[in-house]
Structure 1
């Protein structure tokens, strides 16, 4: 995820101001750092009261990532509905409180400030710059588990903010490895990288720079803003530079423009995007044929249309719950985050500590989590992404969710040897 430099500055200023200024037994209303203890011996604290565990969702339903935010949020609401129908966690029902920040820094920080005192944690916080804006509060005083819908490597290193899957830099290394292994890119070649300014793009381009140094490539960089929707100038510059492939770390709209403009100009090179750079709705646009021919996406998990029992069940359940909405990989991302948070809650219950601290520590004990989407996640080291594997996908309108697998989950040798942020 990303934002403009002005938005980052606003988020940082807001953060600075904020810094200054037996398991089935029900616990008593908990509060405070120490928490309280139920008759069953389970300690509880903020966000746990009566028969309810309250969790917060900070998402984008009306801004730049509205499509993704809707899919992620609806998947989490469906997960919680099913979980509660099966008895909840530790005898508690889960309650999600959703706030739409519209990808606006002021709204995002204000929404976090509103919900934080009343929830145990956040199974969704969409937007790495907004998570970064309140990071000092999360680590210093709030200490509630946050699972961001964001993959910037700058979010690593916290026991309370935990990235699910490979970070953008690792994902980009795997993407370029795919270009070299499968698309003929070799030592001495130039590759282009079109990327958003801000945390998302800056994290991804770190991966390109690292891979270029390791593999003897040259990266021709093109930095853009989220408001830049026409990629004509970028395509012209990269074509003139003689690049043999392009990486794009931007949104679906920019990816469609890049691929469409390149195809129209006869610039026939493979293009690969990070996981945020595609939406299946694009396949119904004029760019659809070009996307299916020459575009690829690196993903932290198998797609919604994967041939697994878990994926098939999720497709059926989601269609039944939201028959008017399309399926995309945001559904997988939301479902996975909800499942990870639930696993941490259950582990915390088993250890009789449903405080914020207890849930955070419980997540550290999960070292092989896989909910049926092909990638095992290890949360034992806060300094590392939970996985270094990426799946390479290709758009295909004939497939559920619009994406087919062209390379199974894999961590390239370069990714395995790479330390994010080093």
Structure 2
């Protein structure tokens, strides 16, 4: 406990050294923060992790940083059911609370409000990866991660150098679907990358299947027979399970790579345990939620011990934590510069655009620095990807801060 208390003190110093030097503030300005969520739709199962992750960070920041700046963030949850129409219908009521900045959950709410936010003057922080179709100027939903395509091309280049020797292209197959705009965009982006980088990747096949396929054994046998040595399944849990079961049925052990939302921790109970994914990878710019003793895990432990955060140590808990950390750092920076009682959504947007937040600001909860621009609503200057792998039946950290290649729009 003494070790934890010492670390907590250090974290607070890093978080609010400038704020601590200010004179005590007698009054606080309370700002509304809408947290778009899904407690009754297709991703309801993840909210007991994402939601408390958000709350834990906000509670910590309010007590240890915001209080010294005269700022309190009051977060309110809105159940969008992960539905575009529901989000659009709720948004007028959200605006009526005069929100300062908000937390986005995913594609449906981005589609519902992205184009109206510049008028509404409410920036939103998204914990998921961005998409190619959001790569447009003047966007106000800003992702903590680069696009899924950036993340997976960074992984492919790492795999090609470290596992395929770097002297030849690695043979890759990918499973996705055209039924989802995000997953179709992934297919389009990886196809474009493969065409532009024939010395690094040979795309054996882009396999388009249903969002919830019953069986993909024939498709997987086809790509394995064609020599695929790496299978990408960055889409949903259902496709990942289907491909893994097909791999088991064929008696093969070609490595598969997943994203954070369909990670081994999410899949293990559905495929026979973590050991069934031996050699598989988890790939994204977020946290690889292993049991290793590091700064990231210590920050989580502090929120549990000191602020009663009730969420397991899980990759999806870290999604909520990371987006909340980006949000509070933006509020903190703006408050120090302009005063805690003078914050507006437009001022927060300008702060996000003008500030290069260094990776150390986030205790390991980002892939690196967070920098936004008018041209792109995700980090573009030096995005990084983290890679985990199941080894000995346990998820381990294989590589961190792996550079992501510069990509042209697809």
Q: For residues 68 and 106 of structure 1, what CA distance do their matches in structure 2 show?
A: 21
Partner residue in 1 for 2:91: 112
Q: Deviations over 1:250-306 (max 9, x none)?
A: 123321331232023123312112332215143234443565313111110332335
Partner residue in 1 for 2:181: 199
User: Retained in 1: the 8 A contact 2:115–2:139?
Assistant: no
Q: Deviations over 1:5-27 (max 9, x none)?
A: xxxxxxxxxxxxxxxxx99475x
Q: Deviations over 1:345-374 (max 9, x none)?
A: 122222324011111111123213321216
Pairing partner for 2:122 from 120, 140, 144:
144
Q: For residues 107 and 294 of structure 2, what CA distance do their matches in structure 1 show?
A: 30
Q: For residues 346 and 154 of structure 2, what CA distance do their matches in structure 1 show?
A: 34
1:404 aligns with 2:390: no
Offset, 1:313:
2.8
Q: For residues 293 and 146 of structure 2, what CA distance do their matches in structure 1 show?
A: 22
Partner residue in 2 for 1:283: 268
Q: SS of the residue aligned with 1:391? A: strand
Partner residue in 1 for 2:19: none
Offset, 1:233:
4.6
Higher RCO, 1 vs 2 (CA within 8 Å, ≥6 residues apart): 2
1:326 aligns with 2:312: yes
Offset, 1:110:
2.2
Offset, 1:237:
4.0
1:355 aligns with 2:344: yes
Pairing partner for 1:83 from 61, 82, 87:
61
Q: For residues 152 and 189 of structure 2, what CA distance do their matches in structure 1 show?
A: 5
Q: Deviations over 1:140-192 (max 9, x none)?
A: x1121111233213223335221112211101211211331233287466421
Q: 1:224 to 1:106 in 2, by over 3 A?
A: farther
Q: Deviations over 1:94-114 (max 9, x none)?
A: 111101222222222223332
1:253 aligns with 2:234: no
Q: 1:121 to 1:330 in 2, by over 3 A?
A: farther
Q: Deviations over 1:228-248 (max 9, x none)?
A: 364435424433544232111
Q: For residues 189 and 346 of structure 1, what CA distance do their matches in structure 2 show?
A: 44
Q: For residues 249 and 96 of structure 1, what CA distance do their matches in structure 2 show?
A: 31
Once superposed, what is the RMSD of the aligned Cα atoms? 2.9
User: Retained in 2: the 8 A contact 1:246–1:272?
Assistant: yes
Q: SS of the residue aligned with 2:66? A: coil
1:294 aligns with 2:294: no
Partner residue in 2 for 1:46: none
Q: SS of the residue aligned with 1:136? A: coil
User: Retained in 2: the 8 A contact 1:162–1:382?
Assistant: no
TM-score (norm 1): 0.78
User: Retained in 2: the 8 A contact 1:60–1:70?
Assistant: no
Q: SS of the residue aligned with 2:304? A: helix
1:101 aligns with 2:80: yes
Offset, 1:375:
3.1
TM-score (norm 2): 0.80
Q: For residues 232 and 119 of structure 1, what CA distance do their matches in structure 2 show?
A: 52
Partner residue in 2 for 1:378: 370
Q: SS of the residue aligned with 1:55? A: strand
1:134 aligns with 2:123: no
- In structure 1, runs of 5+ residues without a counterpart are 1-21, 27-49
